[in-house]
Structure 1
Amino acid sequence: MEIILISAAFIAGFVALKCNLPPLVGFLLAGFGLKAAGFSSNDTIITLADLGVTLLLFTIGLKLDLKTLLSKEIWAGATIHNVLSTALFSAALLCLKILGVGSLSAMSVDQIVLLGFALSFSSTVFAVKSLQEKGELNATYGTIAIGILVMQDIFAVIFLTASTGKLPEWYAVVIFALPFMRPLFYKLLDWVGHGEMLVLFGIFFALVVGAGLFELVGMKADLGALILGMLLAGHKKASELSKSLFNLKELFLVCFFLNIGLSEQPTLAGFALALIFMLMLPLKGILYFLVLNSFKFRVRTSLLSSLSLFNYSEFGLIVGGLAFKMGWMSGDILVALAIAVSISFILAAPINRQGHALYQRSGRWLKEHAAEKLNVRDQLINPGHAQILILGMGRIGTGAYDELRQRYGKISLGIEVREEAAHIHKAHGRNVISGDATDPDFWERILDTGKVKLVLLAMPHHQGNQIALEQLHLRNYQGQIAAIAEYPDQLDTLLEHGVDAAFNIYSEAGSGFARHVCEQLSPSFEKP
């Protein structure tokens, strides 16, 4: 059976990839196909799926700044949307109940409101996967979307705890000691090095210290993984730890999407009700846009955040599953909810892929806020007298900045998508500002780039560098462009699209090391 499941997942994922769809769409369809062929989920798939979600939330925590959650656009935006969308969905469902539509006609008002609450959630797994594939997890709109999703996860945990009537154990107070143990956690992270022990450290803290401890005291295990990740987020190796767990997490999440398709047998009644839910989905997207736009974000930020959240959620399924067990929701409704979640993923995947194109079309008629009233994250940028722009101030961008400053003086400006990282660079005396170089409006927000003679594309994701390159060409930039890439085919693509120089980060690291040795040691050798 395992061979069939793996084969079906690979083939379906590969076909989806070749159709310019995220592989997760293929995994979902593979699950539905296998279910129709008589297969069903099993304990192994469910366990691996749960591990994938736990590791996902842990890695989200590693990248999450607590200040982000405490910003009013996150906690207030998530709360306002959750309340309004629950009310809106409930009102629509009540109208359908009055009309006698399917299983809805037999539901009470309380059950209708509960279903509306389940439909108000958006998928953390889908949004993070989509943002990671585009290399925009740290973009302004990406951090807003993730912050809202984390708040929704907290709402779901509160509901699940209250609904079961089971309070955490009295010894759950030990949870409050975790922040005081952070120095010890940091020391352990320093001591484990960079190899397999780093991966094992991540798994241990996500599954044992986080999920295991919270489950032991009667709280939601996934919340524990998220909180442990947040406690480690300030460590200098947090990014390295997240990357070390990436492939393992991705593999487990294949089982998550397979499991959704394998969980319930679709029925005609379920499909009909799921289609009704899908017709209501645009209400959620519009509401997200209106709420975010009210916080004075640019149209692009509000729109792309809304598109990332334009789906139904696996947490909605968890809420629905609990309601089914408690006798508050019929099996038909739960099946319809599962189908709607799956269809929303399939629909949202290509929409998110085309998010930038959709903005360029719709941005012409969506009203923008006045420049002086924009949210502080979206205000105009003054590059000053910079002659070099470095897009991406990670390790490579930072190294390039320091080398160029040593050679030519203070003529460079670094662009870093993470606001906190930009502040750290400023504290070290570098001329760095926070901005998203993949954002078409970013280039319009720069007051004057006439003095810029060289642009370095040093972002970690190839797609992000490609998008920035396209924006430079669209604005008729006449200076020189250099870029980095991980693979030879990416180098070829960059050169074909007009980059003046492209460098493989691995081969250049080797030659840079050799140059550094020669400069520092000045070795003398005999000619062969």
Structure 2
Amino acid sequence: MDYLWVLVAFVFGFGVKQLGMPPLVGYLIAGFGLNALGVQPADSLDALAELGITLMLFTIGLKLDVRALVRKEVLVTSLGHTLIWVVVGTALLSLLVVSGIGAFAGLTLQAQLLVLFALSFSSTVCVVKMLEEASELKTRHGKTALGILVLQDIIAVAFLVVSMGKIPSLWAFGLLGLWAARPLLFRLLNRAGHDELLPLVGFFLALGGAELFSLVNIKGDLGALVAGMLIASHAKSAELYKALMGFKDLFLIGFFLTIGFTAVPTLDMTLTALALLPLLALKFVLFFVLLNWLGMSGRSSYLTSLALTNFSEFGLIVAHLGAEHQWLPESWLVIIALVMSFSFVLSSFGYRRAHRIYAGYKHWINRFERPEAHQGVALPAGADVLIVGMGRVGKGAYMALEKELGGRVFGIESDPERALALRGEGLNVMAGDSDDLEFWEQVCKGHIELVMLALPSQIEMRSTLEMLGLAGYRGKVAAVARYEDERKELLRLGVDVAFNYYSEVGSGFAAECGHLLPVPSFQSV
């Protein structure tokens, strides 16, 4: 039966990917399809789902800056959005209750408040996958979205404590001592090396943190998040993050499948879920207004809000708890599972087109920002080569070209902290997003002759090339690719030179070593 889940998940995930949709849409369809066929889930599927969530929160912790949680755009937006959402949403939901349509008929005020509270949260799983796909976890809007998600998780834990009467034990205060264990954890990471022990250390810390928090009656997922945050500043945290990515994504397939096993939906439940979908517009507007009011730029506010415009898996926990205590009819557990699944599909589609939409409506979107909030990148005079993405590949290209061109080489990095660190090393680097149309419009006003794309994601490459075209860039473009099919795709999209850097490493290595051989011998080779 385990093979059946793998087979069906692969078939549907592969099928929707060929249609240009995210594979998670296929996994959701697979779960509901298996449930409709009468397939019963085993405990192993739930265990995979829980492990996927635990690893995801641990990897979020590896990328999270604790200071981001107390920034006004995170703290005020999280609390303000939840309060306004419940009040305004309940007023809108009451109109449907009064109408007596379908499952809305007879819904008590207590049940309405519970439904709106369940739908107030955004999906950590969905948002993180979208941001990872676009390589935007380190951008300003990515960090803001992650901070809001973490605070929502804390609000969720507080709700569970109050509603279930599960008060943390006195031993929970001992968790404050985890900070003192950081030097020991750092030594453990240093000695783990770079092979299979490194991801195993990640599992140990993620599961250990979850288990430790569970022992003192605190939601275990929060422990995995804290464990990641404890070692986020370590030099190997990025390497550990990459080592766990494949495991996390694989186990999260179990999570998407389990959503479909909630129950078999009826037509009435499906129509009720569809009637709730327009609330997504309210969620987006509230986030957008609050973030603009708090001083974020129109673009950052728009991207953050769009990423958070979905319903959370936490809604299932709230609905299940409400049904157990008879606060909510059991049918609403299925309805919330459906509306959450629908929101995942819409959110995944919408965010893949986020930068294209902004390019078309940027003047209207930016009307709502404060005058001092607008962000821009001013390129220095004399810059001829622009390297986009200052990771290992981009930085290596920068250092090589700087020897020849000096100050005519310029770098752009989406992570503001990394950009600051590189400037500290004396590199000519500024923070900016590669898929920002306004940035490329500014580039076109200068004399950039060559743009070199050293971005980690093929999706981000496509988006950047699209923005270059919309901005009217006429210079040369070079890019790197991980695989041969990606390299060919970049060439089809108009890149002048595309390097498969796995194969180019070998050529570069040979060129660097050529002088070690006698000239005749080397030439004969």
Tell me which of 416, 437, 441 is aligned to 2:438. 441
1:251 — aligned with what?
250
Q: Mean Cα displacement is larger for which, 310-319 or 355-364?
A: 355-364
Q: Point out where structure 1 has 5 or more consecutive residues left out of the alignment.
A: none
1:499 — aligned with what?
495
* 2:388 is aligned with 1:394: no
Contact persistence 1:52–1:249 (CA under 8 A): yes
Q: Structure 2: how far apart are the matches of 1:407 and 1:279?
A: 56
- What letter is aligned with 1:13? G
1:14 — aligned with what?
14
Q: Mean Cα displacement is larger for which, 449-458 or 427-436?
A: 449-458
1:513 — aligned with what?
509
2:3 — aligned with what?
3
Q: Point out where structure 2 has 5 or more consecutive residues left out of the alignment.
A: none
- What letter is aligned with 1:504? N
> In the TM superposition, what is the alpha-carbon distance from 1:518 to its structure 2 partner?
4.1
Change (3 A) 1:103 1:476: closer
SS of 1:363's equivalent in the other structure is: helix
TM-score (norm 1): 0.94
1:176 — aligned with what?
176
Identity of aligned residues (%): 43
> In the TM superposition, what is the alpha-carbon distance from 1:354 to its structure 2 partner?
2.1
> In the TM superposition, what is the alpha-carbon distance from 1:369 to its structure 2 partner?
5.4
- What letter is aligned with 1:141? H
- What letter is aligned with 1:123? S
Contact persistence 2:52–2:255 (CA under 8 A): yes
Contact persistence 1:40–1:263 (CA under 8 A): no
How many residue pairs match? The answer is 522
* 2:459 is aligned with 1:463: yes
2:132 — aligned with what?
132
Q: Structure 1: how far apart are the matches of 2:180 and 2:473?
A: 51
1:524 — aligned with what?
518
- What letter is aligned with 1:37? L
1:286 — aligned with what?
285
Contact persistence 2:299–2:366 (CA under 8 A): no
Change (3 A) 1:329 1:371: closer
Q: Mean Cα displacement is larger for which, 468-477 or 251-260?
A: 468-477
> In the TM superposition, what is the alpha-carbon distance from 1:105 to its structure 2 partner?
4.4
Q: Structure 1: how far apart are the matches of 2:369 and 2:335?
A: 43
Q: Structure 1: how far apart are the matches of 2:259 and 2:292?
A: 33
TM-score (norm 2): 0.94
Could you report, residue by residue, the CA deviation over 1:227-264 in whole angstroms, capped at 9, with x for unpaired residues?
11111111111111111111111111111111101121
Contact persistence 1:156–1:319 (CA under 8 A): no
Contact persistence 2:124–2:149 (CA under 8 A): yes
Could you report, residue by residue, the CA deviation over 1:22-80 in whole angstroms, capped at 9, with x for unpaired residues?
01101111111111111132211111001011111111111111222222111111211
Tell me which of 469, 477, 483 is aligned to 2:473. 477
Please give the residue correspondences for 1:349-428 in structure 2 after superposition, counting only pairs within 5 Å.
Answer: 349-368=348-367, 372-374=371-373, 378-428=375-425
Please give the residue correspondences for 1:222-371 in structure 2 after superposition, counting only pairs within 5 Å.
Answer: 222-368=221-367
* 2:56 is aligned with 1:59: no
Q: Structure 2: how far apart are the matches of 1:432 and 1:299?
A: 24
Q: Structure 2: how far apart are the matches of 1:472 and 1:110?
A: 52
Q: Structure 1: how far apart are the matches of 2:277 and 2:489?
A: 38
Could you report, residue by residue, the CA deviation over 1:461-516 in whole angstroms, capped at 9, with x for unpaired residues?
12222322232233332332221100112212222333222211112222222333
Q: Structure 2: how far apart are the matches of 1:497 and 1:234?
A: 38
Q: Structure 2: how far apart are the matches of 1:132 and 1:458?
A: 16
1:93 — aligned with what?
93
SS of 1:389's equivalent in the other structure is: strand
> In the TM superposition, what is the alpha-carbon distance from 1:102 to its structure 2 partner?
4.3
SS of 2:451's equivalent in the other structure is: strand
Q: Structure 2: how far apart are the matches of 1:385 and 1:372?
A: 29
Q: Structure 2: how far apart are the matches of 1:250 and 1:134?
A: 15
Q: Structure 1: how far apart are the matches of 2:388 and 2:366?
A: 29
> In the TM superposition, what is the alpha-carbon distance from 1:190 to its structure 2 partner?
1.1
Could you report, residue by residue, the CA deviation over 1:70-103 in whole angstroms, capped at 9, with x for unpaired residues?
2211111121111111112122223333344445
Contact persistence 2:444–2:471 (CA under 8 A): no
- CA RMSD after TM alignment: 2.0
